Structure 1
């Protein structure tokens, strides 16, 4: 039980405050509590509480009420000639702490005791007790004690070096107590030690004026002597001259042998940390060399920090220990300077900031877990530099402490090679350049991985580097090769430390990314993979980026290096989610089909499998967005189709071949196009779907025609025709017959070509298929011009244009204008040829069919030469050459 006098009067027991009602009863309890353990006579109680005599019954009634309020009624007992209260009080505890603080010579202990005492005050003592002059005097006494303790605490903090921190309190008190010379002395000293000499002297002039003008006296000897010391900058005033401050720690770990590269990052650290910036964060993916870089820079800059270089491992991502507690880290930091270590955590922080004030100290805080761990370790005043390394971006420090984040990227190829040269020697690296390139590539230019491979090579000097490169080439063993027997240098383990720190949703997404076969992914694709809304998936992606387990590209896509992808794939294999792969394939097939139809509206594969739940295809708004999506996703789509075939999703595999074919053709990616149609055909055969097999045979035949393999193309076309015929699919058969016409056109067998096109036209007319009739007339026009029948070629091609326009086939319109241009050119009608070629070029350009655009430009150049415009011809040829060069890349 505690009777609380330092504020509103109450009885506090078991965490509960019990108020005392009635002014007389509060005054009665206050008197007994102020004299707790001592008998207070009835006469004295009557005088203080009632201002004179009081009947015995009245006093006993009030005593009885107090006993009802107290948890222990026996705490108030009658003891002639009065009553005695047996209870603890906050006032007695405060007086005990203050007396003890005055006796100790340790400023840390003094400050701790005074803080504890002052925390007992909740308001003015006896603030709600009305009574006699005696009670008012007791209230004043306790408040004077409070003020004395406050000033003593300020002095203790000044003695501890917390001069900058106490200034606001001192300045406020100095205004309230302008004649208090002890307080004014404290203010002047704190200002001086904070580097504010002119303000310290101004404070002296102000107190002297106050004393002279209002009291007619001069400042006392202590104030006058302090002014003199400040004027001559007496070193005795400097807190930093105490013996404990002369220790200069040099705790940096040994410099990293064979450190190479990072010149631009080192220059940036010079600019920031040797300038005005106090805190810099080195962040990056696990194993990228943040610690090595920090230690290397710290050794380079050590002489710029003459008051010490301090290193602390914060164990933010340590497999064997939890993250270091900031309080314990502060203990070690303070001890490194020979300073006493307060027990109270808040006092440790204050002591640390005070110790660093006015010093040039470099702090390397390695392997930080989060901003909350780092924040208590930061200096409070300018002059020091802090270099933090961490796997998280620590954006909170950027916001609260204006820290600068310096990302540590994977090594450029030339610096990766220099690292291997530093470890293996220039001769060994030069002897196997191809193997070295492969090692650098498979190690993803990650310094830790390169160092592990180099260590293996050093311990096996007779083994060729090509052997190591071959081991790294096996995706299933790559991380095993990068195991050096020590968790700190085991690439798999180092990645796992970051993985284990993730939230459950982010960890699941990281695993699922191991199912994704491509080099990068969009947010919508990741949402489909996870089967979650884009918003929550975006939060997990951000967490992975903050942990440097994923990087966001300027395009907004997300990517991982090969080693990280291998680690994620291992985790995915250990916790498989087959539905996630299904959703992923649905995402790409649905988006690719929509994009393909945006490129050529008349194309429709039919029979798309129904999407799995929670699939979120990319929005394809128009032709341009379709081209942009295919361009960004080209490599991903190739890998996704392979995944579909490997995992037995054969419908997805062949339809992905169909969906990507037009784009790959337009951009001249014929090797890729051949590959996707081969995969598509293999899946169609496994399905036993004759329609799919026929479509895929047509597709691969087109690839062979582009590559000049006409015999192979004919074999596939005849198989496709046979399949369509057996299915009674006249349109499919007619499409294939048209393709045969094109094949024989390429083979320069124009009569056979014309015959096939005529057969196709009859089939299209029989079916009333406008788009097919347009194809047939367009091909007829081209064959006619090759036969020298240019006038009829123009007529046929114009007829094709009308039909193409009705069918909405812009590609066909463009091809027909190309044919018309060729016919006019052959007729010597060069200006008409130029107009037609330009129209074809414009349409191909709008479509994004770069190969056909280049072809039109090339022939436009020939027509312009014939038309007598060599300058325009040269420009057309240059444009064609640029397009073709782009297609080759």
Structure 2
């Protein structure tokens, strides 16, 4: 006879399972099994079975369940196993050999395992222990606090065993197995720092360092948003350990990633969002994906296996350029590192964007700006555009294509300018950069000013690429800019960042929405060309309903992928309902409504009210006079607000005094207005101009 607590409550004898009856009877048995060979008072059973005030006849109910359990166990031959359910006054005792309880066997197996001292023995012990679990612990009991607490305690023991099994595989050098074991648990328990730290180390040792770093940033953001705390010592320690190992060039499995080669199809280890504009593919009628790699210095390089899919849809991407130019060394650059630093250079770029299409004009513009060595200055480009247009994808694609032009490394940071939590302080980003460049932790300055000075000094003679994603303001970016003439910087933002243009000679690279041909090509890349060719008119309508935004089109493709029998016309019909459109253009934590919410949250209260008023325009086309009438503002106040909304790409100025607001932005602003009232629509409420 065996008793199961690690899953549905059950009693089996031979191959048969005894019928235990209703939830309260199973709960009585579970409570007795949680305290085997110990008297359990009747009052404790009553308190556990009823959350609220128990009924007057509660004692009789419990006594009846105990009597029925005693009969069921006897019918199953309990006496032959040394099992007895006895009554001791107003308490009950379940006497039995404890090894008949799966939770007891689980604990003994885990206690025997020594993952660090004897990993080869620990692996089978821990696997056997975890194999006893058949689902969430105490399934089938009543939903009262005592049972919830007991189930939570058992789950904690399971997760501790999972972490131990991951460490055992890691000690044996079996990092792929460790990553596979830890990944599922990490997805289901995203705030468990020890688990995430173990997964980060496993991913790093399998060569998926960018995925490992993304798990840190994802968990840090969740801790901040849900608990209001920073990462603890274990999680931060794993992060710094990976950065130091990256700087030293050690700890990774397999060959080092080539300087200019893009990675091939990655594994399924998961990843996370760093925030920012993660819309993936973005325009153009032909694919730049492919299996080969373009030589940077005349030497062919083989592709290297990459990491897993990110929440921003980064994945397999091709490496051939799209602008017809050769990926050579920037003019004026040095032919070799010359930095005097030993170890591999940092390569912190995220995975290349999946199914990246077109954007030839923008990629060529970035090449022109960032490889211009004639000025003797560190080139700086700002990729700007509305939420969901694919800014991050474009910048990361270019960075991977031209990584070989920056042999001293590629740095990447999400500045969180348009995220749920606070924007990233410069000191935090600089600390990460300095660690990645090999600076010992104790030598990283605590002040942003000192860290910025040290960063500029370290990279002054290096050929380094810096990608600063999701910036809110020019002031946030300036301390992070390298000063060396051979360094280049790409910044992405929903704001134009005119301040960087004025003071740092940043060159803007604007990203626009997709036309019908480009949007249909993106749908074809996501869904397969046959499905789109089956109904080209519906594909064109979907592009219109998505305002040509790659993020919205990707969300639409996700809806169709999940419904393989749907024709494109069926989704188009659903999207015509303006009340449902924003909800349908979402996929888990990714969607156009979430992206727009982050933009509107950065507006002042006045500008948010102006946007809400503009959303009432019949066709989304208006001039300053009509905007003033809709908002009830004076002309000067209205014009200033329109300028700020245009700078944030929430409104587009098509010509002098001709403004447009996209349909999706209108729908979002109307929804916000309807939910919170006009005075509650977005905004910081501080009277600022919303530009940071």
Sort the TM-score into its range (normalised by shorter chain).
0.3 to 0.5
TM-score when normalising by structure 2: 0.47
Larger Rg: 1
TM-score when normalising by structure 1: 0.37
Indicate the structure with greater helix content: 1
Structure of greater relative contact order (alpha carbons < 8 Å, 6+ residues apart):
2
